[in-house]
Chains A and B, each alone.
Chain A
Amino acid sequence: MAEREDIGRPKNVEEIEAQLIARLKALSTEDLLDVAAATEENILYYRRRYTGEDFDFIFREAKGTVSVLQVKDPTANSATQDDRVTPAETDRASEKSASEQMTLNFAPVDPPGETLSRILSVVLTRNAYTKYVEPVIADMQFEYADALKKGHTRHARWIVIRGHLLIVPGWVYALVGGWLGWIAKHFST
């Protein structure tokens, strides 16, 4: 988890964004430890927590520009209307500016391999899935996040392609092994 930093309690999103961009420019990508998700378009989403439980930010970084997508403020219910900082869960779209409305539509992107993982977890036995397939997908996700943190987006894409190819031997082994085991169990004399 990224280290906590106290940025005080800004009054609006623009102010937050200006402060955060200034702070983020001073950080290296190595500091951005908690990568949430990423898309294929050179866009990196990540989140950092400031002031402990007070704020949880999700950032969007594209082509060197950093913007805040979502700010969760668990204390928003007890704060006054003027003090609130874009609580994502609250539907107050009509009262918000265009940049604030964007935060309401944000949904984190699944890490790569999640769909394949869901499919194979149904197709394969639990034992085969957890032993042969899940670790390969987990490694792919780990390497993918690591490459993005270092800013190597092309390498990250290659990791996803390679990861999907590498899963094939594992699930073929698991599938064939499962069948052979079943045949041996039911037809052996």
Chain B
Amino acid sequence: MANPFAAETELFILSMLRDAPGGMYGLELVNNSGGKLKRGTVYVTLGRMEEKGYIKSRTDKHASHPGLPRPRYRIEALGQRALQAAELMGALPAGA
């Protein structure tokens, strides 16, 4: 049964973020997803999730690398609840 609150990809991202209390970069999510997340679309999904209030991004202005700062994503309380709801409904995607 599909979770009405979040898409499968979103639930997968939420489960990864739940296991990373310090948050994760978008690229880390892609690299640790085993091919389930794509570089080209991950930020579209993350942006949508942020609009829903499931996650929050924070940009470190004092990055240790040259170039633009990279946002780090953390799960929010609403995201935790959506994930719990999916678990209760047995709607978590495989591998999450």
Contact = CB atoms under 8 A, between A and B. Distances in A.
A145 interface: yes
B31 to A, nearest CB: 10
B70 A139 contact: yes
Interface string A152-168: 00000000001001101
B44 A173 contact: yes
Nearest to A111: B67
Contacts of A138: 67-71
A34 B66 CA distance: 8
A137 interface: yes
Given A131-B47, A135-B26, A141 B40 contact: no
A10 interface: no
B41 interface: yes
Nearest to A108: B66
Contacts of A144: 67
Interface string A100-133: 0000000000010110010000000000000110
Q: Which of B26, B68, B70 has the most CB of A within 10 A?
A: B68
A139 B27 contact: yes
Contacts of A136: 39-40, 43
A170 B44 contact: yes
Contacts of A146: 65
Contact of B68 (A137, A166, A168): A137
A148 to B, nearest CB: 10
Contacts of B27: 139, 142-143
B70 A132 contact: no
B65 A131 contact: no
Given A131-B43, A139-B39, A173-B44, A1 B67 contact: no
B64 interface: yes
A166 B40 contact: yes
B43 A111 contact: no
A170 B44 CA distance: 7
B50 interface: yes
B24 to A, nearest CB: 12
A151 interface: no
B43 A33 contact: no
Contact of B70 (A142, A165, A173): A142
Contacts of B69: 138
Interface of B: 25-27, 39-41, 43-44, 46-47, 50, 64-71
Interface of A: 1, 33-37, 111, 113-114, 117, 131-132, 134-139, 141-146, 162, 165-166, 168-170, 173
